[in-house]
């Protein structure tokens, strides 16, 4: 019988970014009966306090590792990842590593060889999707890999699905809304002038936004408020710089990564629009949870063809997924597989 444990970290902030995803995983692990062997989850903006707490938590965790432990780590982990993996194996424990991002791919802080060497020091990897699994395998990853399909999103109470006029669907987008880094937002407003687009987030070019009657900046709004009462009928998950999402390094990375933003949109009871080659495109298509498109240039025509019955079918499917995301279902499902694998392999 494996002793299920995890190491909670100190997060600098809790917002619509990575802090929510990591904190939700900690909460789900606690709900599933995993023991936190680090310090209690906390949030500090001060870099010094942030670093000190993580160092203390790491030392506490190292002393709490024992034989037959299965320890969940969230990756990337800036401090202590290699030490914990080494200590765990010295003491007869196992490491389950849940991947948020691949540093060698997204920000190039590691080479692929360096990252694979780190990940090979674990026992099970929880990967985003089959594309990430394939990339890791092709680059030399040897450990067991399990997909966890989609990131859970625990907090926030969802409002009712919208009741739009068929064909006249509006969009909403949450994230960095700067035209400099996301020029496709301007282009999208230009090619569909009769379709409203609501944008939530940081770095708005308010003067430029005001030039478009159909582009509405809604401000910096908490995720809870967005989930409860957002504007817009379809959530847009789009990266890269152009209307064709695969352009550029970040766009390409979306083939391997499952953005937490998709979970946010589904918690809004809103169907999602994603690039057809994105990591979650297959999940969206199979579940009939929204639209996948090769290019946003074709989106307007696709939306015009969706009648009210089809939209209601999409939102009914989304509501079913919404309940699972709020309960931590997907992480629970992946961890059960990981524990079963480790239990068999350790006998």
The CATH number of whichever domain residue 199 belongs to comes to 3.40.50.2000
Q: Same domain for 238 and 293?
A: yes
Instruction: Answer whether residue 145 is part of any domain.
Output: yes
| Cα–Cα distances in angstroms (integers) from residue 295 to residues 183, 212, 215, 241, in the given order | 14, 21, 19, 12
144 with 252, same domain: the answer is no
Least Cα distance to 171 among 216, 218, 232 occurs for 232
Residues 139 and 209 in one domain: no
One domain for residues 13 and 141: yes
62 and 198 fall within a common domain: no
- What does the alpha-carbon distance between residue 169 and residue 306 come to, in Å, rounded to a whole number? 9
Same domain, 95 and 127: yes
Cβ pair 288, 314 in contact under 8 A:
yes
Distance separating the N- and C-terminal Cα atoms of the chain: 10
Are residues 321 and 189 part of one domain?
A: yes
Q: Is position 157 within any domain? A: no
Structure-token match 């009648």, residue found? 307
**Integer angstrom CA distances of residue 182 from 92, 176, 190, 240:** 48, 8, 14, 7
Q: How many separate domains does the chain show?
A: 2
Distance CA 9, CA 116 (A): 23
Task: Give yes or no: residues 215 and 263 share one domain.
Answer: yes
Q: Confirm whether 161 is domain-assigned.
A: no
Q: Do residues 335 and 310 both lie within one domain?
A: no
Torsion angles phi and psi, residue 235, rounded to 5 = -85, 135
pTM confidence score:
0.92
Output the tens digit of pLDDT for each of the chain's 347 residues.
899 999 987 665 554 445 788 889 999 999 999 999 987 776 666 677 767 777 888 899 999 999 999 999 999 987 899 999 999 999 999 999 999 999 887 777 889 999 999 999 999 999 999 999 999 999 999 999 999 889 999 989 999 889 898 889 999 999 999 998 889 999 999 999 999 999 999 999 999 999 999 999 999 999 999 999 999 999 999 887 788 865 555 666 778 888 899 999 999 999 999 999 888 899 999 999 999 999 999 999 999 999 999 999 999 999 999 999 999 999 999 999 999 999 998 76
Spatial distance between the Cα atoms of 187 and 144, rounded to a whole number of angstroms: 43
Same domain, 119 and 176: no
Residues 111 and 227 in one domain: no
Task: Return the closest-CA partner of residue 283 out of 183, 148, 136.
Answer: 148
Domain residues for the domain of 249 are 171-326
């Amino acid at each position: 019988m494996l002793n299920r444990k995890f190491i909670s970290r100190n997060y600098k902030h809790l917002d619509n970014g990575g802090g929510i995803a990591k904190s939700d995983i900690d909460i789900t692990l606690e709900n599933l009966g995993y023991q936190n062997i680090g310090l209690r989850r906390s949030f500090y903006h001060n870099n010094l306090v942030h670093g000190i707490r993580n160092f203390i938590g790491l030392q506490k965790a190292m002393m709490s590792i024992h034989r037959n432990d299965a320890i969940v780590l969230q990756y990337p982990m800036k401090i202590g990842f290699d030490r914990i993996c080494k200590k765990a194996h010295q003491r007869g424990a196992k490491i389950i590593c849940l991947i948020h991002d691949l540093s060698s791919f997204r920000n190039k802080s590691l080479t692929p060889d360096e990252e694979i060497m780190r990940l090979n020091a674990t026992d099970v990897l929880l990967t985003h999707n089959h594309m990430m699994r394939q990339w890791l395998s092709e680059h030399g990853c040897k450990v067991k890999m399990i997909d966890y399909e989609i990131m859970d999103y625990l907090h926030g109470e969802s409002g009712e699905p919208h009741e739009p006029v068929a064909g006249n669907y509006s969009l909403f987008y949450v994230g960095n809304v700067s035209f400099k880094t996301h020029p496709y937002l301007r282009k999208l407003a230009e090619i569909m002038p009769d379709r409203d687009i609501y944008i939530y987030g940081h770095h708005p070019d308010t003067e430029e936004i005001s030039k478009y009657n159909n582009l509405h900046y809604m401000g910096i709004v908490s995720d809870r408020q967005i989930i409860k009462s957002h504007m817009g009928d379809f959530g847009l998950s789009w990266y890269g710089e152009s209307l064709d999402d695969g352009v550029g390094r970040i766009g390409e990375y979306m083939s391997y990564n499952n953005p937490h933003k998709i979970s946010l949109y589904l918690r809004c009871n809103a169907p999602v629009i994603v690039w057809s080659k994105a990591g979650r495109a297959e999940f969206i298509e199979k579940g009939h949870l929204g639209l996948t498109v090769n290019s946003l240039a074709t989106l307007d025509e696709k939306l015009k063809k969706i009648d009210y019955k089809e939209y209601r079918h999409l939102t009914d499917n989304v509501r079913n997924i919404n309940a699972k995301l709020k309960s931590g279902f997907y992480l629970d499902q992946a961890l059960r597989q990981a524990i079963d694998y480790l239990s068999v392999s350790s006998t």
